[in-house]
Each structure stands twice: as structure tokens, then as C-alpha cells.
Amino acid sequence: MLWLINTPPFGEGLRENMKEKLVFNSEGNDAPENRLMLGGNTTGIANLNSVKYKWASQLYKIMLNNFWIPEKISLVEDRNTIKELTPDELEAFKNTLSFLIALDSMQCANLPRMNAFITAPEVSAIYTIQEFQEMIHSQSYQYMLQELFPSLEREEIYDYWRSNPLLLKRNKMIAEKYQGFINNPTPENFKVAVAADFALEGIYFYNGFNFFYQLASRNKVANVAKMIRLIENDEVTHVSFMNYQVKEIFDLNNAKDHDLLTSTLKEAVEQEIEWGKSIYGDRILGISEKSTEDYLKWLGNQRSKLIGTGVLYKGYNTNPYAYLDGAKRENFFETKVVEYSQSTAVEGWDDFWWKYLYILQVGVLPVVRSNNP
């Protein structure tokens, strides 16, 4: 069975009326034909039976089934293998973890602020479950710190941004775009926040993820890498969500909208390259300054093509870390029985996995055009 996705036209849903939705609005109208993602007249009732944005309901189901608990993954073995890290690997481990902590912390703070303006309950549901998943990720990092580092060192890792100017710069880049919308919630600032969200979800995490996979390929902190892979599985669905939001509120035929998306992606790629060269350089086996740049420009191209803004960097057509994908997929299937066993009673589960694998590969739900309403 294939899913039918009714993709609305670009730009629909964005209105000048950027007021926070009411908790309950007795004069609202949630009929699908009247529903808007932003600026709609919602009742505040989560009517998920009749929806306008069918992609949101389908994506919500995928995200709901992707539930896991960090403490289910034992890090006992990693307490030993972390001692085998070289000094450069250990320092990179701490810096990478500190940055990932900052990213998910910002997401937890920002998502409910944006959700306050979302007037389609099926889209609001995605924001809610994404915020929950980001908190699970924060819990995961805390669990790693608790199991692998002494108490004082944990606090230092949380505060690395205070002493590392580059990390502070990176945190500020996204946070300031989010804060701009929070301080002045206009349609244009919402677009800036969505573009920043797409860059964060689509670019910022993955070079750090690959670092952990490189270590695991040499049997170092392998269970940390398993947890990182579960986080990545979540992040791929977040990329899909941002892709659909971009297509709801941006007009790619408008030069200003097009430039906002491409400039934000490029800024994220360039900052990630600078960061990767700083904390990994040529000091980590399997990672070099060249592979860092090649990978991130390739990834930038993939994300840009996904949203329809074309190639950002000519000549970057190959993923230099593609050899890691086989092990990641193997681990993905290895843990399904344990980690997702409670989801087998959910209606449609038999159809779930091929859709999930598709989203892992492509970053968006499979689309089948139909003339049916």
C-alpha cells in the first residue's frame, strides 16, 4: 500500500496575522477547508480526525513509532573502550558532545515558541512530538556523561561554550535567528526561524554523528554510537518535517525567499566546516580536513536539492563517509525487535518499515500523486 500525499502549493498558510493561538476559541473553525498552518482561526481543539495537511498526520505516525529509551542501551563496555581513545579523540568526543547538547537544548526552548503560532492541530502535533524527542536526546547526552565521565568533568563539558569562542559563535548563529522571531513574531521572522531550523536539523548534527561512527568502526564506544544512530533516526524525520514546512511557507520563485534558504544553508555548512577542521582536523583516524569539507558540501547539496533550491557547491557529488552507511543500517535492524517491540500493535505497522527506510534514504515521505481528493 502506498501513502497518498496531497502537497499544498508553495506559500499557503502564511498570513500577516501572527498572533499566538488561543487556548480555546469558541468562535473558531477547524474544518479542513478553512484550516491554515499559520494565522488560522482554530478552536484550540486537537481535531485530528479530519485534517488538511495529510503529510503531517502520516509523519506523526512515523515519529510516534520511533520511541526509545536511552537507558535501555548499556554503556558498561564503553566505560572500558573510552580509555582506549587517543587524547585527540577524547577531546573531540567532549567537544562534539557539548555541541550536540547545545543544539538539542535550543530546539527544546524554541519549538514550543513556534508551535504557539501553529493553527493546524496536525502540524502542531509534529512540533509537540519533536520537542519530546529533542528532550530524549538531551537525556541521552546526560546519560552518556553520567556513565563515562566524573561529575566535575560533566559540568565542564556542558559549559565548553564559555571557553570556546568557535562553539559560542555557532550556538549564537542559530539562537539569534530563533530569538529574532520570538522577540518580533512577524511572517518574515518566522521564515528566518524555519530556515535556521532546517539548517540545524539538516546540517549541524551529522558531522558529529560520523565522528562517533568512526570510533565505533574500531570498536571504541560502540554503544554510544548505537545511541547516536537512534538520535539520527529521529533527526531524519525532523528534516522531513522542516522540508514540508519550507514548502508551505516559502515561494521559491521569489528571489528573497530563495536567497534566505540558500544563504542560511551555506552559512551552516561553512560554520560546520570551520568547526570540524578545528576539533577533528587531520588528527582523527578516518577523518581529515578534506573529508570534512567534502562531506559537508555534499550534505549541503543534498539538503538544498531536497527543498528545491538546487546545488550549492558544484563538484561535490559523493559522500566520503558512505562506507559507514552499511554498518549503520545493520545496527538499525539489529535493535528493532527490542526497541520497537511495543509498537507492533499500532495499526498500519506492517506498512511502516518500508516508509521509514524510504525517509532515511531520501529525507521525505514517499509521494504518490493522485487525482482523488
Residue 158 in grid coordinates = 556542558
- For residues 346 and 358, give the distance between their C-alpha atoms in angstroms, rounded to a whole number: 19
Whole-angstrom distance, CA of residue 351 vs CA of residue 235: 21
Report angle CA 137, 185, 200 to the nearest 5 degrees: 30
Through-space distance between the first and last CA atoms of the chain, rounded to whole angstroms: 18
> Is 127 in the active site?
no
> Which cell numbers in the block locate residue 278?
578545528
231 CB-side CA count, 13 A: 29
Could you give the CA distance from residue 166 to residue 243 in angstroms, rounded to a whole number?
A: 28
Catalytic residue among 53, 127, 141, 213: 141
| C-alpha cell read off for 273 | 566546516
Alpha-carbon distances, residue 177 vs 189, 193, 291 (angstroms): 8, 6, 29
Which active-site residues does the annotation give? 141
